[in-house]
Amino acid sequence: MAKPIFKTYQQNQVYLFPPSLEDMIAINHPVRVVSEVMDRIDMDIIIKKYKGGGTTSYHPRMLLKVLIYAYLNNVYSSRRMEASVKENIYFMWLAGMQQPDHHTLNRFRSERLRNILKEVFAQVVLLLVDSGHVGLQEIYTDGTKIESVANRYTFVWGKAIKTNREKIKQQLKELWKYTQKVAADEKGDNTPPDFDKIDSKTVKATIEKIDAALKEVEVSKEVKQKLNYAKKNWPAKLKQYADQEKILKGRNSYSKTDTGATFMRMKEDHMLNGQLKPGYNVQLSTNNQFVVNYSLHPNPTDTRTLIPHLEQHKKLYGSMPEVQVADAGYGSEENYQYLHHHNIEAYVKPVDFDRKQKKNWQPNPFASDQLEYDGSKDVYFCPAGTEMKNTGQYSTKENGFRKTYTLYKATGCRNCPLKEACHKQKGNRLLKVNHNGRTLKQQAHERLKTQKGILYRKQRPADVEPVFGNIKSNKNFKRFLLKGIDKTEIEWGLLCIAHNLKKVAA
């Protein structure tokens, strides 16, 4: 039997020429791409964050390289990054054998990169534009929800604030009425407060009036208890509600441990079963599966995110994209109007677009959008052929955007044989039409059905959705580690830079 032969093993072998980390890293390794790209980035915007004098600091270029390469390798914890720069040859090479601790790495990420990482991200994207990897003329936009690190069970609801304020207002009214009834002859200011605009100061002053009026009157123990409770709690509660509404800023909820996070329904599995959790609505714009723009929003729906997202695109690159492609979540009059105003060729689906493309879809002849309209006379014709005349207009304001509706009224509906199928309104049918919104929506339908529109519709899910899949599944990033929208934007920005550089390396 042949004797086995082993390679020489000497753990304490002394080298005449010590091995170099440079020789251990492959020429085409992703760590080299990270290093080369970051060496071309202008660091002045980060260096300005440092104060002069004092002890020496780790160079921001080195720290930025370590952070991006860490996110490229699914390392998100600053403690794991600290271990990596001591144990992993790629991190050691990238850090130049320096060993920043987790406090240094976390402070750099949370404080030094705050409000400036997007400029670094834009520089990376522009380098990719120059190299031909990506273009900024055509962008594909979509959103997803990422959970916050906040406590899932400490929340504030906007509806609860309104309900509780209404209860205080009602009980205060009852106390005031009771006081006027039993102490009507007492001297003092009997001017009733404005119950529709109660606040902490108003309630406090009103309770003092009630208390003064009831001092000389025999009242029940129950009324005394209610008055004492009101004096002790209501002014403070109303001040608390006012402070909470300032944080809400029109949202329906927020987390007490991360006030920037809103409770949103998260998709937990392939069956879309989920629950309300604190999180952020993350928006991405891509081209050729490279991220060219990202933004975080506290509102759970996509409709109100498109305009600020595009405004940021303009801020980063100095101009708007030529073509915007998005799904039905962004189809609103405000968004269509904005895209039209900025001369952006919009391929954004209206809400009903997919439903109308199905083979079994049949238009409802009684639906308002199927009725015949004569623009010269400004009249609609009901299904029975009767004119529906313009009876006036009114406007509404939603989130700062004004919508104008025109009302058209039919005649003779009572004896019409089509009434039961036509409408369920009492009396004659009243039609409410938003002409501007309807025109923009029809134009969107027509664009999407062109040859060009079909190509964009096919490309959108293949361009932007795989990026979310990669980040959530391959990179296993499903929950932020930092609190607050400023810090979570930094995390997401590092992820986007890492995603882009990994694609370059691939």
Give domain status of residue 301, yes or no: no
Q: What pLDDT does residue 191 have?
A: 66
Higher-confidence position of 316 and 198: 316
Evaluate if residue 150 carries a pLDDT over 50.
yes
The CA distances from residue 464 to 162, 451, 456, 468, in Å, are 39, 21, 12, 7
Higher-confidence position of 420 and 79: 79
Give domain status of residue 200, yes or no: yes
The tokens for 403 are: 């919508």
Average pLDDT over residues 109-134: 94
pLDDT tens column, 113-123: 999 999 999 99
Last residue of a domain, one of 54, 78, 113: 113
Backbone angles phi, psi at 352, to 5 degrees: -95, 10
For residue 214, what are the domain limits? 156-254
Evaluate if residue 229 carries a pLDDT over 90.
no
Question: How do 387-398 and 401-409 pair as beta strands?
Answer: antiparallel
| Average confidence score pLDDT of the chain | 89
Give domain status of residue 76, yes or no: yes
Give domain status of residue 11, yes or no: no
Backbone angles phi, psi at 451, to 5 degrees: -60, -40
Read off the DSSP letter of residue 409: E
Q: What pLDDT does residue 271 have?
A: 58
Evaluate if residue 154 carries a pLDDT over 90.
no
162 and 74: one domain?
A: no
Q: Domain count of the chain?
A: 3
28 and 87: one domain?
A: yes
The CA distances from residue 334 to 143, 304, 363, 441, 443, in Å, are 18, 9, 26, 11, 14
Q: What pLDDT does residue 464 have?
A: 95
Please give the Cα distance from 482 to 148 (Å, whole number).
8
Average pLDDT over residues 357-364: 86
Please give the Cα distance from 240 to 230 (Å, whole number).
15
Evaluate if residue 189 carries a pLDDT over 60.
no
Give domain status of residue 331, yes or no: no
Q: How confident is the model at residue 74 (pLDDT cuts 50, 70, 90)?
A: very high
Evaluate if residue 41 carries a pLDDT over 90.
yes
Element (H, E) at 276: strand 276-287
pLDDT tens column, 259-307: 999 998 887 655 556 788 899 999 999 999 999 999 999 988 899 999 9
- Of 297, 294, 265, the C-alpha closest to 278 is 265
167 and 108: one domain?
A: no
Please give the Cα distance from 7 to 390 (Å, whole number).
95
Give domain status of residue 174, yes or no: yes
Q: What pLDDT does residue 405 have?
A: 94
Q: What pLDDT does residue 273 have?
A: 66
Q: What pLDDT does residue 20 have?
A: 80
Q: What pLDDT does residue 130 have?
A: 94
For residue 377, the domain's CATH number is: 2.40.10
The CA distances from residue 377 to 167, 413, 430, in Å, are 52, 21, 18
Evaluate if residue 246 carries a pLDDT over 60.
yes
Please give the Cα distance from 279 to 255 (Å, whole number).
9
Evaluate if residue 187 carries a pLDDT over 50.
no
Last residue of a domain, one of 404, 434, 464: 434
Average pLDDT over residues 467-487: 92
Residues 6+ apart with CB under 8 A from 194: 202
Share of the chain above pLDDT 70, in %: 95
Residues 6+ apart with CB under 8 A from 66: 81, 84, 85, 91, 94, 95, 100, 105
- Of 320, 353, 308, the C-alpha closest to 460 is 353
Last residue of a domain, one of 195, 219, 254: 254
88 and 167: one domain?
A: no
Evaluate if residue 253 carries a pLDDT over 70.
yes
Please give the Cα distance from 119 to 49 (Å, whole number).
14
Give domain status of residue 118, yes or no: no
Higher-confidence position of 165 and 307: 307
Evaluate if residue 68 carries a pLDDT over 60.
yes
Give domain status of residue 235, yes or no: yes
161 and 249: one domain?
A: yes
